[in-house]
């Protein structure tokens, strides 16, 4: 058997020999892993750990990122846009203790939250929270986020300074991340990376911090503290947090953060150089007004002025052509003036800048339009879709900032408040996180179309898929503060005897009632070929104005019909409360009550009485573009039993929604789309 096996191997010579290059390339399962492709042969990046990839290059990345943030308006604006949308004017604390875990009631949690929020304001909205006594908590939060974006890291320590007169001992001190480093004389190891001391599982135990910034001697001229490090534990002996280190941990084992612009530094620098070159070329081109051409070349000049060449050159230099507004040029004999046509900036400069800008915007995780503040090519749909994507990124960053920075600071504040007896918390050390649970409300996302988005918010609340807390938080407001303020304003208005405020005809849509939708769902639009056309006069006096004299014949006819029907309708309604006022709306070319002739003689089950009219949407001129009318049946129990009314033959009851889809330059209606439900 051995001999047979050996002979079989000898029958296949070259089995272990290297394969030809062509065969090796063809047998690569993934084309991206090819080592012979001309496009990929020089692309051989090494596989290293997160710290091995980052720490040796961190100083260069941070230095170049700071240089761009200082000297590039685009880089500076991008950082500021992120800070404005994530932090804005500050993060608002919304305490939300886990009252179930604490064995308390919801009422207790609400009262406790109000007390804590009031105490938080006395600490966070003053410089009592800052060891340097210069910043409030919101400013420190913005500084922390900015440092994390530009440097990759943000670092702070909590100090206990009870000797000040502000009533609080807990103070926060922000520290430049440059001071966080491995001490001189010690090398990086499995337990020490980039100044972070870790245990065997990678959990930070503490941080090595320089006593001064390594470049301070350039300002002070002193080497005091230079080359000296101090170890700052993450927690002290009783478990109280001391050091706070904020960074994006993208890979397992990553001990430090990297700047947000790390992946596009080369793109940014290239764009800056190209922009500077275009600006310089444009300036030089602008300085040249025209070119003076002579018909003689060098040899011709020498032949013509062989003896007096120097005299010719002197005469030319003395014959200066001064170009001023409206001047007539006197040229040297034989010369010709040619206008200079500048070719800079290049025609492709704008397109190139936009394309590179879109690549840079991806690094910020925001749309190009938001980074460059250029909304000229955006419409409502595209801008809303882009902003929704941007807000996913902003919300994620805000959540990370709350987890890494705001939550630990709130825990430190709450611990002091409870120990000082300023707020209740007898079992705080047993379940600290049940007490410290909270939410952070950032700046509002704003509205692209306030009317549509306010209507959508109300519909979400009415259909119970959202809450006042969620809707207020999206606009950067605390729902309890909003309701407290509304109650205060309502009480003050009642004290002054003012009527209750009304949203008016342009108020938010409550949702279509059964009488509006009809049994088969929403009405269909009238086909385009059946839509009314022709110019009509603009609306006078707003959406709810009664048509004045001198109106169009169509509106005048509507007015006469309504006047003739109004008395019969109000009598047939037999309602104890006053009937709604009937208006005619010229802007949408319809009356509030639409009843076809002959006049209605209907029983209470068939009759419709207008109870609500709303302008759902207005155009740019403030005129109604989409209107909605809601009709209701009078209560049968309130209707008189006699005489019994029957609908007259041919009577048609309608519910109508009309939309103005086109107006001329003066605001007159050109096209109207009507949707109706026959009853």
What's the N-to-C CA distance of the chain in angstroms? 97
Q: Give 212's DSSP letter.
A: S
| Token couple for 598 | 């002959």
Q: Is residue 154 part of a domain?
A: no
The pLDDT tens digits for 363-389 are: 999 999 999 988 888 887 888 888 888
Q: Is residue 11 part of a domain?
A: yes
* Residue 516: predicted pLDDT: 32
Beta strands in 287-437 (DSSP E): 290-293, 336-339
- In angstroms, the CA 546 to CA 418 distance is 63
Go through 97-129 and write b for each residue having 16 or more CB atoms within 10 A of its CB, e for each that does not: bebeebeeeeeebeebbeebbebbeebbeebbb
- In angstroms, the CA 207 to CA 180 distance is 7
Q: Is residue 95 part of a domain?
A: no
- In angstroms, the CA 189 to CA 264 distance is 30
Counting residues of the chain whose pLDDT is more than 70, the rounded percentage is 61
Residue identified by tokens 């939309």 is 659
* Residue 412: predicted pLDDT: 97
Whether the per-residue pLDDT at 585 is higher than 50: the answer is no
Question: Residues 585-600: what's their mean pLDDT?
Answer: 38
- In angstroms, the CA 387 to CA 446 distance is 10
Domain tally, the chain:
3
* Residue 659: predicted pLDDT: 65
Q: Is residue 506 part of a domain?
A: no
Q: Is 188 exposed, middle or buried (0-12, 13-18, 19+ CB in 10 A)?
A: middle
Q: Give 525's DSSP letter.
A: P
* Residue 473: predicted pLDDT: 81
Whether the per-residue pLDDT at 187 is higher than 80: the answer is yes
Q: Is residue 667 part of a domain?
A: yes
The pLDDT tens digits for 126-151 are: 999 999 999 999 999 999 999 999 99
- In angstroms, the CA 444 to CA 479 distance is 13
The pLDDT tens digits for 503-524 are: 543 333 333 333 333 333 333 4
Give the highest mean pLDDT range of 346-360, 398-412, 434-448: 398-412
Whole-number CA gyration radius for the chain: 39
* Residue 594: predicted pLDDT: 37
Cis peptide before 279 (omega within 30 of 0): no
* Residue 225: predicted pLDDT: 77
Q: Is 293 within 8 Å of 299 (Cβ atoms)? A: no
Q: Is residue 507 part of a domain?
A: no
Question: Residues 71-84: what's their mean pLDDT?
Answer: 94
Q: Is 341 helix (H, G, I), strand (E, B) or coil?
A: coil
Q: Is 124 within 8 Å of 138 (Cβ atoms)? A: yes
Backbone angles phi, psi at 512, to 5 degrees: -70, 130
Q: Are strands 609-618 and 624-632 parallel, antiparallel or unpaired?
A: antiparallel
Residue where one domain finishes, among candidates 273, 308, 341: 341
Confidence band of 35 (pLDDT split at 50, 70, 90): confident
What residues are paired with 231 via a beta bridge?
A: 208
Residue identified by tokens 């070929």 is 529
Q: Quote the crossing angle between the two packed helices 73-86 and 58-71, to the nearest 10°.
A: 90
Domain range enclosing 13? 2-44
Residues 6+ apart with CB under 8 A from 68: 75, 261, 265, 268, 269, 272
* Residue 332: predicted pLDDT: 64
Beta carbons within 10 angstroms of residue 75's beta carbon: 26
Confidence band of 5 (pLDDT split at 50, 70, 90): very low
- In angstroms, the CA 513 to CA 628 distance is 11
Which H or E run contains 467? none
Average pLDDT across the chain, whole number = 75
- In angstroms, the CA 401 to CA 379 distance is 32
Dihedral angle of Cα 188, 193, 196, 200, to the nearest 10 degrees:
-90
Backbone angles phi, psi at 233, to 5 degrees: -70, 155
| Token couple for 216 | 């301070």
Confidence band of 340 (pLDDT split at 50, 70, 90): low
Give the highest mean pLDDT range of 140-144, 266-270, 574-578: 140-144
The pLDDT tens digits for 194-242 are: 999 999 999 999 999 999 998 888 887 777 778 899 999 999 999 999 9
Q: Is residue 171 part of a domain?
A: no
Whether the per-residue pLDDT at 258 is higher than 60: the answer is yes
* Residue 550: predicted pLDDT: 46
Q: Is residue 549 part of a domain?
A: yes
CA neighbor of 159 nearest in space, from 119, 131, 140, 127: 131
> Could you tell me if residue 252 is left (phi over 0), alpha (psi between -120 and 50 degrees) or otherwise beta?
beta
């Amino acid at each position: 058997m051995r001999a047979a096996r050996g002979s079989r191997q000898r029958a296949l010579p070259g089995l272990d020999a290297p394969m030809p290059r062509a065969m090796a390339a063809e047998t690569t399962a993934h084309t991206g892993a090819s080592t012979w492709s001309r496009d990929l042969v020089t692309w051989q990046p090494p596989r290293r750990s997160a710290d091995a990839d980052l720490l040796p290059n961190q100083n260069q990345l941070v230095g170049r990122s700071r240089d761009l943030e200082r000297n590039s308006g685009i880089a500076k604006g991008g950082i500021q846009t992120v800070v404005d949308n994530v932090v804005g004017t500050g993060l608002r604390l919304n305490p939300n203790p886990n009252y179930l875990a604490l064995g308390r009631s919801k009422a207790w949690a609400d009262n406790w939250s109000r007390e804590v929020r009031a105490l938080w304001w006395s600490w966070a909205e003053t410089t009592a929270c800052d060891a340097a006594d210069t910043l409030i908590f919101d400013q420190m939060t913005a500084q922390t986020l900015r440092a994390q974006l530009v440097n990759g890291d943000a670092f702070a320590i909590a100090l206990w300074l009870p000797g000040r007169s502000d009533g609080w001992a807990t103070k926060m001190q922000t520290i430049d991340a440059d001071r966080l480093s491995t001490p001189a004389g010690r090398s990086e190891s499995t337990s020490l990376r980039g100044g972070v001391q870790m245990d065997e599982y990678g959990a930070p135990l503490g941080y090595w911090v320089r006593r001064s910034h390594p470049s301070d001697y350039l300002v002070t001229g002193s080497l005091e503290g230079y080359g000296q490090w101090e170890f700052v534990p993450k927690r002290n002996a009783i478990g109280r947090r001391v050091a706070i280190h904020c960074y994006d941990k993208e890979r397992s084992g990553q001990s430090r953060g990297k700047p947000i612009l790390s992946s596009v530094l080369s793109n940014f620098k290239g764009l800056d150089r190209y922009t500077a070159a275009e600006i310089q070329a444009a300036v030089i081109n602008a300085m040249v007004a025209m070119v003076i051409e002579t018909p003689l070349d060098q040899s011709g000049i020498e032949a013509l002025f062989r003896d007096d060449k120097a005299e010719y050159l002197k005469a030319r230099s003395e014959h200066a052509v001064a170009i001023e507004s409206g001047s007539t040029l006197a040229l040297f004999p034989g010369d010709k003036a040619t206008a200079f046509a500048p070719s800079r900036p290049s025609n492709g400069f704008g397109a190139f800048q936009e394309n590179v800008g879109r690549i840079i915007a991806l690094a910020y995780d925001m749309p190009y339009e938001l980074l460059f503040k250029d909304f000229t090519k955006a419409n409502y749909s595209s801008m809303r879709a882009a902003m929704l994507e941007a807000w996913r990124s902003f919300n994620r960053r805000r959540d990370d900032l709350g987890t890494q920075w705001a939550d630990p600071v709130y825990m430190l504040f709450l611990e002091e408040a409870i120990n000082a007896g300023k707020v209740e918390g007898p079992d705080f050390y047993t379940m600290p996180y049940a007490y410290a649970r909270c939410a952070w409300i950032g700046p509002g996302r704003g509205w692209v179309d306030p009317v549509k988005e306010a209507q959508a918010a109300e519909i979400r609340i009415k259909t119970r898929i959202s809450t006042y807390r969620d809707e207020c938080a999206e606009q950067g407001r605390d729902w309890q503060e909003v309701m407290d303020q509304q109650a205060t304003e309502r009480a003050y208005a009642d004290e002054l005897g003012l009527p209750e405020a009304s949203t008016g005809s342009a108020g938010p849509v409550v949702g279509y009632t059964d009488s509006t939708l009809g049994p088969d769902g929403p009405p269909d639009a009238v086909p385009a070929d059946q839509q009314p056309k022709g110019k009509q006069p603009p609306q006078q006096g707003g959406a709810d104005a009664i048509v004045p004299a001198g109106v169009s014949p169509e509106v005048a006819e509507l007015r006469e019909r309504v006047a003739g029907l109004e008395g019969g309708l109000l009598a047939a309604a037999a309602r104890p409360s006053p009937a709604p006022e009937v208006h005619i709306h010229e802007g949408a070319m319809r009356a509030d009550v639409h009843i076809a002739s002959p006049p209605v003689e209907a029983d209470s089950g068939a009759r419709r009485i207008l109870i609500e009219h709303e302008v759902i949407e207005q155009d740019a001129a403030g005129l109604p573009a989409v209107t909605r009318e809601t009709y209701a049946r009078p209560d049968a129990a309130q209707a008189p039993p006699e005489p019994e009314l029957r609908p007259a033959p041919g009577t048609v009851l309608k519910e109508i929604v009309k939309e103005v889809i086109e107006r001329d330059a003066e605001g007159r209606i050109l096209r109207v789309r009507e949707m109706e439900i026959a009853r």
